[in-house]
Every structure is written in structure tokens, then in C-alpha cells.
Structure 1
């Protein structure tokens, strides 16, 4: 491990958008009542507890195994998660934002549930079914392929790192899944099957390791939530951040 490069991916803690989206889904409502634009949505009280629990788990990591740097999505919920966790852990490492880690942008479908999309934009709903989740790009938004493209530049930088580096990235559920798509060389079908059967839990960790200087990335663990066990509910029931339609 000493000569390896280690990458830890963290999904942000539960956000106010997660709470609102779940309420909209359960209530059969078309529009999600989010309190701010997507980039400014904060953590819920539960999300802050999850971030602190993540930090307590990080505190147990040996000093020589701590991250060199923590990069986070510029979205408020990810930044909050990173800052709370690092502070709770007592790590003396910088927290830096990187816009490439932001969540998938939904364009005109932002703030809509699946029901809302079907009723307000039936042509878009049909186009999405035809193209499939991976390649469908809503007007003004991004496809999963678009997100993968921007993440590939981060992977190129990670591949150029020398031995012994450890990097933590605090981001979003779709971003975590698309890192798996890139680092494991998954097909469209494989990543969509994974997305349809797995909820990336709030404040969960996913770890990849790469041998020094060369070789493939190996998935060490996925969607790890043992550090949240004392909190009770840890998994957000829907897959998106401020939306319960396919992200």
C-alpha cells in the first residue's frame, strides 16, 4: 500500500434537497420545493450529523494514511460535508473546490419529479426513454456521458500522480458512479444496471487503489457506511440530489 495511490470518493451528507425530493415523491407532487438553487442547497441537520460521523471515522486513520488534499464539488452541500468532516477528523489538510466534481445539471427538468417531467414535458420524457439514461441530455443540462467527459480530466491527473499519494473527493451520487464507470472500464449497460440497483448512500465512502506509477485502478470498497452505524438511517431513498427523476 505504501507505494500505491489511493482515491477515496465521498458522497455528501443528506441535503435539504434530498429531504424535499423524498417528500415530493411520497406526496405525488410534480415540483420539488427546494429552498435554493441546486448549487446553494445546504445539508440537512441529519446531513451535518453524517458529515461529523464521517470525520470521526477519518480521525481513526493513521497519520501516514491521511489524504494529501480534499477536493470537493463547489456545491454547498459537498463543501459543507468536506469542511465538517475534515474539522471533526482534526486533519490539517486543505479543502479545495473543483467544478468538475459538481452534480449532473438537469436543465429544464431541474426541480421536477418523474411525475412532473411526464406531465410538463411529455416529449422530453419520451426522448429520454428512447435515448436511454446514459446519453439523454435535457435542454440546458447534461447527459451522464457529459459528466463522464469532465471527470476523465480528473482521472488523467490522478494517473499522473507519483507513488504514495492519497486523495479524497467529496461529490455527488452520479459522480461516484461515473468514477466507477471510468476507472473500471464499465459498459453503458453495466453502469446503468449498477445505478438501477444501488443507492449511493449519503456520506458513504468508495475507495480505489492504484499500484505505484502504473497499473489499473482496483475497487477496494464501495458505498461503505460503517462509520454511520450509530446514526440510524444513513441511506437516502431516491437517487438524485434535488430531484427524484433519473439523474
Structure 2
């Protein structure tokens, strides 16, 4: 029998998705135009923010900069991908420019990286269907959470690395307010881990709408366990 005590809980866990990237914008334009290819090349990790994404990051900075000290994040962990690093840098700069105390400097953690797509990196869904029809069929057969592209990760693989991150955060930052800067796949799989959502529950979340760029999802630990306080909030963004 495992007699170990459960890990201590953190006071608050917040995760933000990065602002709109140049690839996000290009994929949307390709889909709207009915084009298979987006024109995006290079490494996914090197994709930068679009101009809209930069404005969204500033909106995040205004949101966090306006918080009272007792509600501000005390620890920030960030994906190593450029679009996530840029998001927090711009957010911190915006909060500082507004005259508030500095937000925490981020610590990079590779476990917060986006889902690795392997040979299918930076391909639109239409491009995968056209160029790799067998993979598109396999995804349909096994389901989106279990499908692992060649050389890449399934969403359950993402959850596995996030589980170790959560264990470390609880051990190292018990009682603290922790902010993660990451990606849509990370937000979804954190709901699976933190709330114990089943895969059918997660499928319902996905059907209800994508995780928005620069959105905020937050759990509070007031009851001794993390409870969802807000999901996919974008009220701080320009135009909202």
C-alpha cells in the first residue's frame, strides 16, 4: 500500500495561451481561402507573434498589472517556444509601463512546449489530409487524444509530461500563486489532469470552441484542492 501523503496544493494555478502567432494567422487565412498550404516554413519552436498577438500580449500585461499584490502571480513558468517567451516579455513590459511593480521573471520549462507534431510539423489539417491520407485516417480511427503523428506526440503524451511538471510545482511552490505561459494543448491537458476530466468530457470542451490566443484559465486552491475559477477568458483582450 502506498502510504505517501498527497502533494501539498498551490494557492492558485493560472495558464495563459500565447498570443496569436504568425502561423495561427497564416493557417486561418489559408482555411478561409480554401488553400491547402499555409506558406509557413521553419521550426515550430521559432514561430513568432503576429502584430495582433503582440497586442494581445499587452492586454495580458494590463490584466496582470492591474491585480493587487495579493492576487499577482508569484512564480512564472514558460514554454521555451518563441511565441510564448515573447508573450510574457511583452506582458511584463506592459505591466511595468503602467507603473505597477514588476511581474516575476519567467523560468523556462521544456515540459510546457507545444504538442510535438514530428513529420507533420506546421502542416494545416488540409495539408495532412492531402499529403498523408493514411495518417488522417489513422487519426480518425484512434481518436484525437490517442493519435501520435510520426515522430511526434499524442495529447496523452503531453499530459504525461505535464503530470511530472504539476508534481514538481506542488512540491516546490506549495501555497504560491503559479502562472504558466504555454499553448492550447497544454491548457486542455491541464484540465484533464487538474480536474480529472474524462476524455469524453474533454471532447465536449473541444467541440465548444478552441482555446483562444492569450486566453486565461485559472484554478484556485482555497478548498485545499484546485477548482476551476475561469476557463478561456478573453475579456482583457483588445476589442473584448
Q: What's the TM-score once normalised by structure 1's chain length?
A: 0.87
1:120 equivalent in alignment to 2:131 = yes
Equivalent of 1:94 in 101, 105, 117 = 105
**Aligned residues of 1:29 and 1:113 also touching (Cα < 8 A):** no
Rounded to whole Å, the distance in 2 between the matches of 1:162 and 1:112 is 38
Q: For 1:76, which of 71, 82, 86 is the aligned residue?
A: 82
Cα distance, 1:158 vs structure 2: 2.8
Q: CA deviation at 1:157?
A: 1.9
Q: Does 2:157 match 1:146? A: yes
Q: Could you tell me how far apart the structure 1 residues matched to 2:215 and 2:31 are?
A: 23
Is 1:67 the counterpart of 2:73? The answer is yes
Deviation at 1:216, TM superposition (A): 2.5
**Unpaired segments of 5 or more residues in structure 1?**
235-247
Change (3 A) 1:83 1:133: same
Matches of 1:7 and 1:193 in 2, distance apart? Answer: 23
Distance 2:122 2:10 in 1: 41
Residue deviations 1:148-195, cap 9 Å, x none?
000001111233356541111010011101101110001111112211
**Aligned in 2, Cα 1:163/1:104: closer, same or farther, shift over 3 Å?**
closer
Paired residue for 2:18, among 12, 17, 21?
12
* CA–CA separation in structure 1 for the residues paired with 2:181 and 2:137: 33
In the TM superposition, 1:208-219 aligns within 5 A as 208-211=219-222, 215-219=224-228
Specify the alignment match of 1:245 in structure 2.
Answer: none
Q: Which residue number corresponds to residue 3 of structure 2?
A: none
Partner of 2:54: 48
C-alpha contact (below 8 Å) 2:65/2:103 kept by paired residues: no
Aligned to 2:181: 170
Q: Would you identify which runs of 4 or more consecutive aligned residues in structure 1 move more than 6 Å?
A: none
1:224 and 2:226 equivalent? no
Stretches of structure 2 that go unaligned for 5 or more consecutive residues are 1-8, 97-101
How far apart in 2 are the matches of 1:100 and 1:29? 33
CA distance in 1, matches of 2:196, 2:158: 15
Q: How far apart in 1 are the matches of 2:34 and 2:123?
A: 11
Looking at structure 1, the residues matched to 19 and 71 of structure 2 have their Cα atoms a distance apart, in angstroms, of 23
Matches within 5 A, 1:177-216: 177-211=188-222, 215-216=224-225
- 2: distance between equivalents of 1:126 and 1:104? 20
Match of 2:170 in 1: 159
